[in-house]
Copies of this chain bind each other. A is one copy, B any other.
């Protein structure tokens, strides 16, 4: 294990970027030098990190000279263009975009679930999609103990997953709505798509663009990333997964209604709850009589995945349901990315 690391954050000025910094400070990764990289537009901006003030630099291939570890969250195109340059210069990159997730040579990691795949890395490790991470984290102990046959998930996804500008747009729309003014939508559901619709006090059953089979790319990601993480094969037929992804007018914190069928007929709700309670990173909030269940407002700023409403499908002995909530910028992005990096450091893989 090296004594200290030169770390670069790519996309330092975004909503996830600022959280990558605080998670890095919170982690046990020894940082010698921290470089903050962003687009030309943000270069020159000064950002406080612990007791230093760091000037943001424009991200270029040469920026990665001498860098050991890159934490990247600047969008898929930037990752595709710059991460191979970083790897060429000897850096190991943890990428929080979809650029490399489906590359069979790139490990797709949820710490605590499949860290052992890290040994196969070739310079780039992918952080899964936010909505995938919290579901897989919750399901992994069940999968390990009972086996999983099928997952049917409906998501309730916060606007911050679409970036800071979409988040601002929703807050502006909410103000307009409360003042009986028309709502202006120019970003959501997805930047660059044909039409834009207001999200405030509305529901948008579209996250990311549509595929030819009628699924959105977000749904596609949940299906194939889940299979890659749990079964190491993005098309594994043994576990059936399907998803409906919906954007809801919440700032931070994704909710998921997860229906799952296990292989082992002896699984019970009490056992499932206790298995999850024993798993690091999972917090059980499940006491209906006391009205205790996960809520996005309570999950904001937390690293854990919160699970409640665990119950049996009364008519299907091997089926269960649960309600999973996590901070999509923390558990679903910054915390997961930095935990992957910490796992790499601990395993001496950088």
Report whether A259 and B203 are in contact in the complex, using a CB–CB cutoff of 8 Å. no
Stretch in A19-27, A93-101, A190-198, A328-336 touching the partner: A190-198
- A63 close to chain B: CB less than 8 A: no
Q: A156-B248, A248-B248, A259-B242 are in contact. Are A295 and B204 (CB under 8 A)?
A: yes
Residue count of chain A within 8 Å CB distance of chain B: 62
The answer to whether B189 touches A178 (Cβ under 8 A) is no
In the complex, A314 has a CB within 8 A of chain B: yes
The 8 A CB mask of A218-246 against B (1 = contact, 0 = none) is 00000000000000000001001110101
A165 CB-CB contact with B under 8 Å: no
A204 to B323, CA, bound (A): 10
* Contact of A291 (CB < 8 Å), options: B189, B203, B250: B189
Complex interface: stretch among A7-15, A70-78, A121-129, A208-216? A208-216
User: Main secondary structure on chain A at its contact with chain B?
Assistant: mixed
- Residues facing B in A242-273 (CB within 8 A) are 242, 244, 246, 248-251, 253, 255, 257, 259, 269
Cα distance A198–B296 in the bound complex, in angstroms: 11
**A340–B204 Cα gap in the complex (Å)?**
32
* Cross-chain pairs A/B with CB under 8 angstroms, 30 sampled: A150-B316, A156-B156, A156-B246, A175-B178, A194-B291, A195-B291, A197-B291, A197-B297, A201-B249, A202-B296, A203-B253, A203-B295, A203-B325, A205-B255, A214-B269, A214-B310, A237-B315, A240-B313, A240-B316, A242-B321, A244-B257, A244-B309, A244-B321, A244-B323, A246-B255, A246-B323, A248-B248, A248-B249, A249-B250, A259-B259
